[in-house]
């Protein structure tokens, strides 16, 4: 499939995903985020990792605030994205107070200000685990991003520096597809996709009752 055809297929799927997201209630997103967070925290790859990068979630994404707090409280080193123009680096978060004091970007996401210079994780020892965001995923690990390519480029930089972090993505069950259009050699797959299955959702409903 030609690259332009794949890009068109991605655009169509992004629109479909955004329609799905707009139909999800806050309670549904919160319920799923809670289940997914517990799955991540119990994952051996997470427990064995000391240097972890995590995206700071927007309203339409699986919430990561509780995961971030767990990373910091567990004395692991937490890294968060810092976007600048077309590039992204992963910078250290010093504490929960540091997180609370970060300014908001135009996307309503916290990140250090441009004059708050922090080293990239690749300059200080790399990363053990990257929690990668996305709009949709497949069980095979294909990922539909938002079209900027930040994480694909960063993961390639990790490999160039000799680091091979485990990659995990968090997915609402409505946004798990059999197939995701990908551009070979450009779009990076993730190692694991965590999502609530039917049994998880039913168990959670029973607990709430």
The secondary structure of residue 72, as a DSSP letter, is: H
- Close Cβ partners of 93 (under 8 Å, ≥ 6 residues apart): 68, 72, 78, 79, 80, 99
**Distance of alpha carbon 82 from alpha carbon 118, whole angstroms:** 9
pLDDT for res 209: 39
Apex 161 CA angle, 155 and 167, nearest 5: 30
Q: What pTM did the predictor assign?
A: 0.92
Q: What is the pLDDT of residue 207?
A: 44
Q: How far is CA 49 from CA 42, 128, 153, 161, 168, in A?
A: 12, 5, 22, 18, 12
Dist CA 69 CA 78 (whole Å): 9
Torsion of CA 5, 6, 12, 16, to 10 degrees: 160
Mean pLDDT in residue range 178-193: 92
Domain residue ranges of the chain, discontinuous segments joined by +? 3-208
The CA-based angle 58-63-68, given to 5 degrees, is 105
Q: Give per-residue pLDDT as tens, 121-138.
A: 999 999 999 999 999 999
Q: What is the pLDDT of residues 42-92, one digit of tens each?
A: 999 999 999 999 999 998 999 999 999 999 999 999 999 999 888 999 999
Q: Shortest CA distance to 139 belongs to which of 188, 187, 190, 174?
A: 190
Mapping DSSP to helix (H, G, I), strand (E, B) and coil, where does residue 209 land?
Answer: coil
Report the largest interatomic distance among the alpha carbons of the chain, rounded to a whole angstrom.
51
pLDDT of residue 118 exceeding 80, the answer is yes
8 A C-beta contact, residue 102 and residue 110? yes
Q: What is the DSSP string of 81-102?
A: EEEETTEEEEEEE--HHHHHTP
Level-2 CATH architecture, domain 3-208: 3-Layer(aba) Sandwich (3.40)
End-to-end CA distance of the chain: 49
CA distance linking residue 148 with residue 107, whole number of Å: 14
Among 4-8, 18-22, 25-29, name the one with the lowest average pLDDT: 4-8
pLDDT at res. 201: 65
Mean pLDDT estimate for the chain: 92
Average pLDDT on 183-208 reads 78
The residue ranking higher by pLDDT, 185 or 33, is 33
What is the structure's pLDDT at 1?
59
Question: Sorting pLDDT into bands at 50, 70 and 90, what band is 102?
Answer: very high
Name the pLDDT band for 208 (thresholds 50, 70, 90). Answer: very low
State how far the Cα of 79 lies from the Cα of 69, in Å rounded to an integer.
Answer: 12
Q: Read off the pLDDT band of 200 (50, 70, 90).
A: confident
């Amino acid at each position: 499939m030609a690259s332009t055809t794949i890009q068109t297929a991605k655009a169509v799927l992004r629109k479909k995903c955004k329609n799905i997201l707009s139909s999800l209630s806050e309670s549904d997103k919160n319920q799923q985020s809670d289940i997914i967070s517990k799955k991540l925290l119990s994952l051996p790859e997470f427990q064995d990792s000391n240097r972890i990068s995590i995206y700071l979630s927007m309203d339409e994404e699986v919430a990561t605030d509780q995961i971030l707090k767990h990373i910091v409280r567990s004395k692991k080193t937490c890294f968060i994205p810092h976007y600048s123009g077309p590039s992204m680096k992963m910078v250290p978060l010093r504490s929960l107070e540091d997180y609370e004091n970060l300014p908001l970007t135009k996307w309503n996401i916290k990140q250090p200000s441009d004059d708050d210079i922090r080293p990239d994780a690749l300059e200080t020892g790399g990363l053990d685990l990257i929690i990668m965001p996305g709009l949709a995923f497949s069980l095979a690990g294909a990922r539909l991003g938002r079209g900027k390519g930040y994480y694909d480029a960063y993961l390639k930089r990790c490999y160039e520096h000799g680091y091979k972090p485990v990659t995990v993505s968090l997915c609402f069950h409505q946004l798990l597809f059999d197939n995701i259009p990908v551009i070979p050699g450009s779009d990076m797959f993730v190692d694991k996709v965590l999502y609530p299955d039917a049994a998880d959702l039913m168990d959670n409903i029973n607990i709430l009752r």
